[in-house]
Amino acid sequence: MLAAARLGDPVAHTASKGWMMAGLIAGALIGAAAVVVTGGAALTLVAAAAAGAAAGGGLGEVLGTMSWAPRHVTGSLISGSFNVFVNGRPAVRAHLSQGICSDHPGSPQLVAQGSSTVFINGQPAARMEDMLTCSAVISAGSPNVFIGGATVTTDDISPEIPGWVNWTMAAVGVAAAAVLAGPVVAVLGAFGGFVGGEGGAWIGGKIFGVGSDGQKWSMLGGSLLGGYAGAKGAGLAARGVPEAPAINPGELTAAPDYLNAVSKFTGKSSAEIEGFYKQMNEQGATYQELVGKAVDKYGLTPDEGHAVFGYTTKLFYRDLNQTLLAGGSPESEGLSSLIQSGLDKMPSSSPVQYRGWRLEDPEALAKFDADFAPGKTVESNFWSTAPSEADAYVADRNVVIRTDQARDISDLAFGVHYHGLIGKPIYSSETLIPPGVPFKVIGTDSAGRIILEQL
């Protein structure tokens, strides 16, 4: 039985708003701190903070409505019965009596709840703990008059926390869980939590009474158990579905754009290109491991990794450079673009590079000398270079190149890793200058090498 409500008795709001905000902040800090301590990426940090905030906010909201949680008086009851009195003061009735609430200024709020068995002026008698339409509760009543019966609600009650706030917190929590644990776990966990909470609230209401602390604890417990069961079920279901084997980025099949580009430029079929790589494997050149490591190390796509590595083999190196020297072609664009985008992700090399040109006949030699005469300007295509004289290819004409455009491709260079398998000198490093870099021919050094200065 509850104390009868009278004109002038106070009304109060629970701590749910304040505790929700405190829970939001504390949950976010705990979630973020956990990721910082254990290590994690920025997206994980944000997701953990969001998940913590949503969980903390929801928990704070529920705990703030418990009977032991502090309440703050926000007004009083301002109207009562014209002919029924309790302790000499007009008795308060649901639907007819009103109260004022400083949290909801403006029109007075109706008393929205009362006894299911005791009526005053044809409406349920209001008691301590019954609610007004703004969710404020009657926080005090008669010291010696008590009214029994279950609680009935006569008017719609606006929740202290608007529904959209709870739905937003739920959505943020599910989205954060999807980032941290995957969408299936997030959705099934949320569904399990919802069903468990509803079930717990129903059971708690039957055992402890509707609106009681026992019902609220039952709802929290049901939500936790339901959420755990849903997430656990998602995990078990996922284990039962075999995962598709991951493709090693070093495998040729992981680079379809590269295969198409090589086929388009060289005119070779996919089978012919795959045969070239198979022959490398048979010689001991395990390119799959080499390309796979470089992809992970430098953030390359498999297509970019294979394009840079492929350039260092004899698959298309000479033909591509001759095509670019002649002005390029539509067939070479795709392959050149993949090599270039891969180069952009490789580290820069030293500012002085060395290179040799092999010129097969007097006509080619004469043309080179004319093009690389002192004072002339030349433009690179893909130039394989070396940062040390020891690794430089020595040929008919040798060049010293001063540039900031050379990229270190040693981790993807056939000559660095596999030349020994085919009886050629092994390089300790290899670099590559991309097309389109302009140079001025300065002259020659004491060793007869042509000096190029980047413009």
DSSP 8-state code for residue 106: S
From 153, 170, 193, the end of a domain falls on 153
CB 156 within 8 A of CB 131: no
From 213, 240, 267, the end of a domain falls on 240
Alpha carbon distance 305, 307 (integer Å):
5
Structure tokens at 132: 């007004």
Which of 355, 380, 429, 449 is labelled catalytic? 355
Alpha carbon distance 400, 432 (integer Å):
14
Looking at the structure, tell me whether residues 104 and 216 fall in a common domain: no
DSSP 8-state code for residue 372: T
Which of 142, 410, 430, 449 is labelled catalytic? 430
- Average confidence (pLDDT) over 10-38: 58
Rounded percentage of the chain residues whose pLDDT exceeds 70: 71
58 in a structural domain: yes
Looking at the structure, tell me whether residues 236 and 277 fall in a common domain: no
Which of 16, 139, 384, 429 is labelled catalytic? 384
247 in a structural domain: no
77 in a structural domain: yes
Cα–Cα separations (whole angstroms), residue 65 to 70, 95, 163, 216, 379: 9, 23, 16, 9, 76
Structure tokens at 193: 């939590």
pLDDT digits (tens, 9 = 90+) for 215-244: 666 666 765 675 566 556 655 555 555 555
Is the pLDDT at 20 greater than 60, yes or no? no
Q: CATH number for the domain including 393? A: 3.90.176.10
Looking at the structure, tell me whether residues 7 and 146 fall in a common domain: yes
Is the pLDDT at 334 greater than 60, yes or no? yes
Looking at the structure, tell me whether residues 234 and 264 fall in a common domain: no
Alpha carbon distance 55, 61 (integer Å):
10
- Average confidence (pLDDT) over 385-399: 88
Q: What is the pTM (predicted TM-score) of this model?
A: 0.50
167 in a structural domain: no
110 in a structural domain: yes
Looking at the structure, tell me whether residues 186 and 146 fall in a common domain: no
Structure tokens at 93: 């009735």
18 in a structural domain: yes
Q: Give the per-residue pLDDT at 273.
A: 92
Alpha carbon distance 317, 336 (integer Å):
11
Number of residues assigned to the chain: 455
Q: Give the per-residue pLDDT at 322.
A: 87
Looking at the structure, tell me whether residues 226 and 262 fall in a common domain: no
pLDDT digits (tens, 9 = 90+) for 279-312: 989 988 889 999 999 999 999 999 999 999 999 9
Number of structural domains found in the chain: 4
- Average confidence (pLDDT) over 130-157: 94
Domain extent for 122: 2-153
Q: Give the per-residue pLDDT at 144.
A: 96
341 in a structural domain: no
Rounded percentage of the chain residues whose pLDDT exceeds 90: 51
384 in a structural domain: yes
Is the pLDDT at 336 greater than 90, yes or no? yes
Pick the range with the lowest mean pLDDT from 21-25, 105-109, 344-348. 21-25
Looking at the structure, tell me whether residues 6 and 149 fall in a common domain: yes
Looking at the structure, tell me whether residues 197 and 262 fall in a common domain: no
From 106, 132, 153, the end of a domain falls on 153
Q: CATH number for the domain including 91? A: 2.60.200.60
Is the pLDDT at 441 greater than 90, yes or no? yes
Q: Give the per-residue pLDDT at 52.
A: 43
C-alpha R_g of the chain? 39
Looking at the structure, tell me whether residues 14 and 144 fall in a common domain: yes
**Amino acid identity of 162?**
P
| Residue 430 among the catalytic residues | yes
Alpha carbon distance 321, 383 (integer Å):
8
| Residue 384 among the catalytic residues | yes
Looking at the structure, tell me whether residues 130 and 198 fall in a common domain: no
Sorted by sequence, the CB contacts under 8 Å of residue 202 that are 6+ apart come out as none
Looking at the structure, tell me whether residues 217 and 188 fall in a common domain: yes
Q: Which helix (H) or strand (E) holds 339?
A: helix 330-343
User: Residue 106: how many CB atoms within 10 A of its CB?
Assistant: 7
Looking at the structure, tell me whether residues 125 and 59 fall in a common domain: yes
